[in-house]
């Protein structure tokens, strides 16, 4: 097969037609209903025990944003629909120099939470006032109350022992106690998507959906009548585990090589942690078909990050960015213009599919909430893909339009920065007010 033919065929497999996107949305809506009713579904539809804030919440809270190997502890002040962060410390659980690693299996839960609690002490800087604490813990949790979240399973390559199957609040509370912190009480645990929705709804009207399009992917929405309470409640869908999209041979290769084959199938097609892996799977086939030379570097997991893909997507007519990524990251020297264009076309396909798929899932949620699209809707989004990847928001819009047609004009997507931190503070204050 010649190069242009291969690229055409591969991209046709990856790109999704309007009908395919409509089908994804239809399956997604069925999975939502099934999951919510407690029937088997790839969408876990986890209750959060929190609804939308009123905007009148005020006061000071400590927020911890634990979404992966980077953690942030903040002191946040909320008043009149405005959130202000007065202190903030960002740290990593895994020292790049190898000095420590709290994400390894050999590390025990207490060591991990002590490390986090020490940073709370630092942020407090001697402040002894009583402060509620909100924890954004962005892993699938079985939530049994606003302050009870049992980790179902670690994701994002974290393996610390003794956390899976346990409620994270007592783990954190005990660590704070060991550090001598008596004035800070953990009050709420939320997912980062929930934090994004809370932070957006604190200052904007009409926000019903919160989503992360970054290293991971997930979405939550405000269920108007939750089956558990009959009242409005935000539902963490764990959308990354949706399994209703047909896998291409490249997705199958990525899935098989992943830490948990069969799990997080949508996330493996959509999120920043995996887009580079899908591109590499296509490139590997091209090398096997002798359409590309073998690179002089090994293509390990993580060789192509979202930043590299963005560099390719930003390229002008000269393919300078694509060439630089091919040489520096992949060790592919002396590629012809046709090969560079082929590489770029593959990246465009993989990134475009990600955004359109995400858009189709938002469309499914909005159609479920408002079948006639008779109202205006806001989808609050955080994450590096949405914030930085060229044309990603346009791709989401294309996905919305494929499913909702002209109804998509009633939907706005809005970038919400730091929602996971601010949302944790809002959740802490909401919980505190509830007593």
For residue 132, the SS3 value is: strand
Q: Would you state the structure tokens that stand for residue 329, as one six-digit string?
A: 């990251």
The answer to whether 66 contacts ligand GLC (rule: CB under 6 A) is no
For residue 234, the SS3 value is: strand
- Pick the piece of the chain touching ligand GLC (CB under 6 A) from 5-13, 29-37, 216-224, 304-312: 216-224
- Residue tagged 């740290």 (tokens): 91
- Pick the piece of the chain touching ligand GLC (CB under 6 A) from 114-122, 134-142, 341-349, 400-408: 134-142
Residue nearest to ligand GLC (CB): 216
Measured N-to-C along each axis, helices 306-313 and 320-328 cross at an angle, to the nearest 10 degrees, of 150
d(CA 85, CA 166): 30
> Using the rule CB under 6 A, which residue among 43, 78, 198, 212 binds ligand GLC?
212
The answer to whether 102 contacts ligand GLC (rule: CB under 6 A) is no
- Sheet containing strand 377-382, strands side by side: 46-47, 233-236, 217-223, 207-213, 377-382, 411-415
Q: How far is the CB of 217 from ligand GLC (least distance, A)?
A: 6
> Using the rule CB under 6 A, which residue among 48, 147, 193, 361 binds ligand GLC?
193
The answer to whether 295 contacts ligand GLC (rule: CB under 6 A) is no
Give which of 63, 10, 42, 173 is closest to 423, Cα–Cα.
63
Cβ neighbours around 334 below 10 Å, total: 9
The answer to whether 117 contacts ligand GLC (rule: CB under 6 A) is no
Residues 226-255 that bind ligand GLC (CB under 6 A): 238, 240
The answer to whether 140 contacts ligand GLC (rule: CB under 6 A) is yes
Neighbouring residues of 264: CB distance < 8 A, sequence distance ≥ 6: 155, 240, 241, 258
For residue 14, the SS3 value is: helix
- Pick the piece of the chain touching ligand GLC (CB under 6 A) from 213-221, 242-250, 291-299, 325-333: 213-221
Q: How far is the CB of 399 from ligand GLC (least distance, A)?
A: 18
- Identify whether the C-beta of residue 182 lies closer than 8 Å to the C-beta of residue 174: no
Q: How far is the CB of 319 from ligand GLC (least distance, A)?
A: 33
- Pick the piece of the chain touching ligand GLC (CB under 6 A) from 70-78, 81-89, 186-194, 391-399: 186-194
The pairing of beta strand 131-137 with beta strand 184-190: parallel
> How many residues sit close enough to ligand GLC to count as binding (CB under 6 A)?
15
> Using the rule CB under 6 A, which residue among 155, 169, 255, 339 binds ligand GLC?
155
Neighbouring residues of 245: CB distance < 8 A, sequence distance ≥ 6: 24, 265, 266, 269, 357
Q: How far is the CB of 289 from ligand GLC (least distance, A)?
A: 33
> Using the rule CB under 6 A, which residue among 107, 191, 196, 310 binds ligand GLC?
191
d(CA 141, CA 165): 9
| Binding residues vs ligand GLC (CB under 6 A) | 67, 138-140, 155, 191-193, 212, 216-218, 238, 240, 267
């Amino acid at each position: 097969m010649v190069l242009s033919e291969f690229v055409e065929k591969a991209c046709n497999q990856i790109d999704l037609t309007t009908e395919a996107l409509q089908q994804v949305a239809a399956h997604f809506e069925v999975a939502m209903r099934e999951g919510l009713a407690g029937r088997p579904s790839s969408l876990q539809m986890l209750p959060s025990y929190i609804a939308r804030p009123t905007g009148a919440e005020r006061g000071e809270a400590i927020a911890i944003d634990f979404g992966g190997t980077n953690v942030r502890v903040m002191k946040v002040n909320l008043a009149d629909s405005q959130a202000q962060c007065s202190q903030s410390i960002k740290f990593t659980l895994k020292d790049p120099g190898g000095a420590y690693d709290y994400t390894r299996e050999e590390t025990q839960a207490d060591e991990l939470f002590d490390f986090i609690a020490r940073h709370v002490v630092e942020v407090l800087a001697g402040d002894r006032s009583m402060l509620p604490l909100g924890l954004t813990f962005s892993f699938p949790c079985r939530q049994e109350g606003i302050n009870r979240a049992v980790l179902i399973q670690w994701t994002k390559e974290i393996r610390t022992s003794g956390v899976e199957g346990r409620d994270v609040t007592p783990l954190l509370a005990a660590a704070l106690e060991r550090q001598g912190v008596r004035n800070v009480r953990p009050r709420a645990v939320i997912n980062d998507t929930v934090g994004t929705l809370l932070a957006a709804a604190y200052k904007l009207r009409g926000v019903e959906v919160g989503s992360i399009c970054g290293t991971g992917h997930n979405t939550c929405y405000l269920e108007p009548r939750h089956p558990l309470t009959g009242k409005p409640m935000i539902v963490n869908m764990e959308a990354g585990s949706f399994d209703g999209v047909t896998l291409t041979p490249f997705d199958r290769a990525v899935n098989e090589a992943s830490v948990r084959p069969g799990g997080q199938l949508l996330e493996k097609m959509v999120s920043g942690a995996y887009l580079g892996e899908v591109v590499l799977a296509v490139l590997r086939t091209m090398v096997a078909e002798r359409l590309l030379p073998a690179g002089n570097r090994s293509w390990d997991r993580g060789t192509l990050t979202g930043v590299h893909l963005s560099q390719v997507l930003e390229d002008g007519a000269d393919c300078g960015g694509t060439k630089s990524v091919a040489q520096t990251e992949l060790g592919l020297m002396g590629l012809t213009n046709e090969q560079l264009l082929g590489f770029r076309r593959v990246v465009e396909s993989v990134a475009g599919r990600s955004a359109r798929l995400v858009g189709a899932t938002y469309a499914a949620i909005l159609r479920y909430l408002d079948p006639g699209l008779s109202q205006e809707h806001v989808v609050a989004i955080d994450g590096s893909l949405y914030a930085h990847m060229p044309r990603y928001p346009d791709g989401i819009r294309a996905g919305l339009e494929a499913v909702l047609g002209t109804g998509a004009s009633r939907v706005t997507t809005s970038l919400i920065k730091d929602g996971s931190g601010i949302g944790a503070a809002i959740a802490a204050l909401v919980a505190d007010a509830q007593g």
